Structure 1
Amino acid sequence: MCTVFDDVILHPKLRSSSGSSLCRDTFAKQTMRWPWSGEDDDPKKGGFSTWVASLKTTDWSTTFTEPRTLIPSLVLTISTIAGARLYKTYLRRIPTVNHIKPDYFRRRSLFGQVTSVGDADNFRLFHTPGGRMAGWGWLPWKRVPTKREDLTKQTLHIRIAGVDAPELAHWGREAQPYSKEALDWLTSLTLNKRVRAYIYRRDQYDRVVAQVYVRRWFFKKDVGLEMLKMGLATVYEAKSGAEFGTAEAQYRAAEDKARDRKVGMWAKPSLIQRLGGASTKAPESPREYKNRHTAADKQKKAG
């Protein structure tokens, strides 16, 4: 005969065929379990229908208001919104002047690397938002391009606010005295350096007029102010469009001091220079130079 204990069939040596057949039938009706299985390992019947039924019986009004569900959801939502806002406000790169929003002017500053200096009072800036803290300069995908073709339509044309440097020779006009010295000085101070530009407005030449600072060791220097101190620029004197921020008085005082010290463009010609024909008159300012050539051009067109 057969003896069944729980799920295991124990049977002694069977002597009759009828008894053996009975044991086989009994064994077939039992479910043989895996030795390490448990009650929870039984196959679930009606999987989809059971899931649908559970949805109908769930109280959704309380499920999403439980702290264990609500708090992680709020944290994730707030973090996502804050991250997107942080990126758009502080980490989004501005490639050209056309990408600057109007409300940025007089409220924001742009940090970047100077890629070229084309004149004595303006240069090209590659915007690197966040600087090294955001990976610029050390992450492989955040490097400032060095090839000219890679910089096309990727830089901002910055015009240094509040100052006017001597004009270089261009458009058939002669160069002003100290124009090359001013260009060389600005190049040595800013080229391939990181600067911060406090932007004021967009001018008629699609340049960004900005007060520019460059860091030297532990101090930051106002580039325009330093040019005035060196006698390599004058205070900007156009009838309109002059931008100083809050530094106009400081700029004018720096120019007056440079005049008194006779440095840079305010220096008097030496004896040898006078013998060579150098003028002893007061130097022509960049504004006077532009006005003179503008008047001459108008006269040519009228004649």
Structure 2
Amino acid sequence: MYDLMKMSPSTDLKDQTISIRMAGVDAPEGSHFGRPAQAFAQESLAWLKSHAEGKTVYCQLTRRDQYGRIVAIPCLKPRLLPGFLATGKCLSLEMLRAGWVEVYEQAGAEYGRWGKDEFLRIQAEAQAARRGIWKYGVNIESAAEYKRRYAAATEVEPPSKTVTSAKKASKRSLLRRFLPWSR
């Protein structure tokens, strides 16, 4: 038996945690790898935490993505008639309805039993009502565009290996000058 007050999630649950990518939706990108966060990234994550944290979430696993994450359709436990056939609210659709994510339309997108048309219909409703990320209109940089922009910027800029190689060569030449036997 675990004492939950003393349990550290970072150590005790590390090998029991599964990264899941929510099927059918793409959220604003948070800051990582030295890149700034997209607008509304914090608000989107806060919405998800407030609606899922501490609750029972059932995940219909669909596949693994190119990063090894499991793509799943997360559903909250139904309030009435919990059981095998009863499903609660789909978190992907609820986030879409609240306007905190957009429809993921890249290759291999999964939409479950609802289908892509239902996802697009709900997104259009959120856009028309200017909810969440659509607060200032529909002309926003999508999460996919954001990722492409930074991928293109990374490809254009030469990696810092040339600087590192030059530093190593400089150190080697100094060693050779002062320690001739180090060749």
TM-score (normalised: structure 2): 0.74
Q: Which residue pairs with 1:232 in the alignment?
A: 100
Q: Which residue pairs with 2:109 in the alignment?
A: 242
Counterpart-to-counterpart distance in 2, 1:154 and 1:302: 36
Secondary structure at 2:59 match in 1: strand
The residue type paired with residue 147 of structure 1 is: S
Q: Which residue pairs with 1:168 in the alignment?
A: 30
* Identity within the alignment, %: 38
Q: Which residue pairs with 2:52 in the alignment?
A: 190
Q: Which residue pairs with 1:256 in the alignment?
A: 124
Counterpart-to-counterpart distance in 2, 1:214 and 1:189: 9
Q: Which residue pairs with 2:139 in the alignment?
A: 282
The residue type paired with residue 292 of structure 1 is: R
Structure 1 residue 293 corresponds to structure 2 residue 181: no
The residue type paired with residue 298 of structure 1 is: E
Q: Which residue pairs with 1:267 in the alignment?
A: 135
Counterpart-to-counterpart distance in 2, 1:224 and 1:189: 11
Cα drift, residue 237 of structure 1: 2.1
Counterpart-to-counterpart distance in 2, 1:162 and 1:225: 8
Counterpart-to-counterpart distance in 2, 1:262 and 1:222: 21
For structure 2, list consecutive stretches of 5 or more residues without a partner in the other structure. 81-86, 161-183
Cα drift, residue 254 of structure 1: 0.5
Cα deviations across residues 166-223 of structure 1 (Å, max 9, x unaligned)?
0111111111111100000101111122110000001122211000001363382100
Counterpart-to-counterpart distance in 1, 2:16 and 2:134: 38
Runs of 4+ that moved beyond 6 A: none
Cα deviations across residues 112-142 of structure 1 (Å, max 9, x unaligned)?
xxxxxxxxxxxxxxxxxxxxxxxxxxxx58x
Greater Rg, structure 1 or structure 2? 1
Q: Which has the higher strand share?
A: 1
Do the aligned residues in 2 keep the contact of 1:237 with 1:287 (CA within 8 Å)?
no
Task: Kindly indicate whether structure 1 or structure 2 has the higher relative contact order, using CA contacts under 8 Å at least 6 residues apart.
Answer: 2
Q: Which residue pairs with 2:69 in the alignment?
A: 207
Counterpart-to-counterpart distance in 1, 2:46 and 2:138: 25
| Number of matched pairs | 150
TM-score (normalised: structure 1): 0.46
Q: Which residue pairs with 1:124 in the alignment?
A: none
